[in-house]
Amino acid sequence: MSRRRYLDHASTSPIRPEAVAAMSRWWAADHGDPSRMHTEALATRYGIEEARQQVADFFGARSREVVFTSGATESIAAAVWGASHRGTHQVLSAVEHSAVRLSAQRLSARHRRTTVVGVDSAGRVHPDEIAAAIEPDTDAVHCQWANHEVGTVQPVAEVIAACRQRSPDVLIHVDAAAAAGRVPIDFQQTGADLMSISAHKFGGPPGIGALLVRRGLRLMPLLEGGEQERARRAGLENGAAIAGFAAVCAALHGDGLEQEAGRARSQSDKLRDLAQGIEGVTLYGHPTQRLPHLVCLGISDVEPQAVLIALDRDGVAAHSGSSCASESLAPSPVLEAMGVDAHHSLRLSVGWSTTDEDVDAAAHALKQAVADLRRLKG
């Protein structure tokens, strides 16, 4: 059986050996409830706090600013919910992840409002348009670091500066799930109030993430029932997953991220070049301001589901359509907002385990799949 080629790292990246080793060590040790005072509990607390510092160091945050969650979806919901107690209006771009969009929309049942700001054809927001949407009762602005479908990196620093100038007290939440572990992130330097992260996106274990909360900011917690995470998120901490998350952050801290991003950009550039040689293929997203590991293609004349099936048959894992709507044939809201064909897209994304041979094999399989499908159409 031929080797599988996994090019869907933007959905989830296979768990790294560093994470597996750290989690195995955690499970092999004696642990207790870190909220208690006995020896096992104190050892557990020490391990969690050591891991918290490693995560904080990687993302340019203070240790006390890291709140461990079950992943970016929970972090986003906590940011939306917590901010909602400060006002009655939130602002977001049209290309935010569905976790942001739907969490904000759910608040409308409580007589609240949301304003959705459009983007250009590359999926980029304009800072002045985001800031102009802020009203006297606005409690939060949501701006993703980079888009999860087309890879476009947003002008986050400019958005935050424009929003601060218009309303110094509005909370700014950055969804960094697609960018974390792919590009350098410095939470303190951005000036953001809240940032959402998910470990599985860059090779950490699933079911763990973080909400970075600016020092001094108090939010109404989403999950209540205990004093864990300094009363900011109730529930027994997932110590093993936290250890795995921290191990990946430690492995990438320093030169590791730069080296991996350089390799990913080289591989994605090759994919882009090879894909452009296929008739009827269009590149989506910003040509330069983009994540290093992600390529989004528009393919005319053929259905993306058929392309995916053909690729999978040839041993290539990829993705098409809306990021979290694989079971739906609904068009991509991101591509619709960009004004491009929202029904015929394919996303290829590389990661820590991708080889140059994987890239070559995927490009060959894509060219063959499109040609075969067009020939079948007659």
331 phi, psi to nearest 5 deg: -65, 160
**What is the model's pLDDT at position 30?**
84
| Cα 74 to Cα 49: distance, rounded to the nearest angstrom | 21
**What is the model's pLDDT at position 325?**
47
**What is the model's pLDDT at position 322?**
54
**What is the model's pLDDT at position 162?**
98
> Hey, which CATH number is domain 17-252, 3.30.70.260, 3.40.640.10, 1.10.760.10, 3.40.50.1100?
3.40.640.10
**What is the model's pLDDT at position 327?**
47
**What is the model's pLDDT at position 239?**
97
* 209-213 and 171-175 strand pairing: unpaired
Helix (H, G, I), strand (E, B) or coil at 115: strand
The total number of residues shown for the chain amounts to 378
* 209-213 and 194-198 strand pairing: antiparallel
Q: The whole model's pTM is what?
A: 0.95
Give the CATH fold of the 5-14+255-377 domain: Aspartate Aminotransferase, domain 1 (3.90.1150)
Segments making up each domain of the chain, as ranges = 5-14+255-377, 17-252
The residues, any chain, with a CB within 8 Å of residue 311's CB and separated by 6 or more, are: 317, 318, 362, 365, 366, 369
**What is the model's pLDDT at position 36?**
93
Q: How many CB atoms lie within 10 A of CB 328?
A: 9
Mean pLDDT by 10 residues, the chain (378 residues): 90 98 95 92 95 98 98 98 94 97 84 94 98 97 98 98 97 98 98 98 98 96 93 95 98 96 98 93 96 96 93 95 54 94 94 97 96 86
Q: If we measure between CA atoms, which residue out of 19, 12, 16 comes closest to residue 247?
A: 19
Which residues are designated catalytic?
324
